[in-house]
Amino acid sequence: MTPLQEQTYLLLKTVPPGRVTTYKALADALGTRAYRTIGQFMKRNPYAPGVPCHRVVAASGTIGGFMGKTDGKEIAKKIRLLRSEGVRIRRHRVVDFTSVVFTFQ
């Protein structure tokens, strides 16, 4: 595991239940512009659910991917996990995105 992966997973653990963050916010907080790399780290997360990759969504507020997929049962599981934490989802989008997004500031 690379140092950037370790830092990413540690940082992601600070996102509380009921909140979401973005691939971009994670990358920015880590001082990198490697947004897609952050996405790959989420796809390969060996620590789930302790490191809650389901809380990472696209900067537009759309659900994004989960477990390497962008539809099907994996996305249904991500939505279920987010809803169980109180995040409202409608049409694969986080409702009131700006009020639940966590930006590490």
Taking each helix axis from N to C terminus, what angle separates 35-43 and 3-12, rounded to the nearest 10 degrees? 80
79 included as an active-site residue = no
**Helix intervals (H) in the chain:** 3-12, 23-29, 35-43, 73-84, 97-100
What residues contact residue 97 under an 8 Å CB cut-off, 6+ apart? 20, 61
> Are 26 and 105 within 8 A, CB to CB?
no
Q: What torsion, rounded to 10 degrees, do the Cα atoms 81, 85, 86, 91 define? A: -20
In the set 53, 58, 63, 89, the catalytic residue is: 53
Catalytic residue numbers read: 53
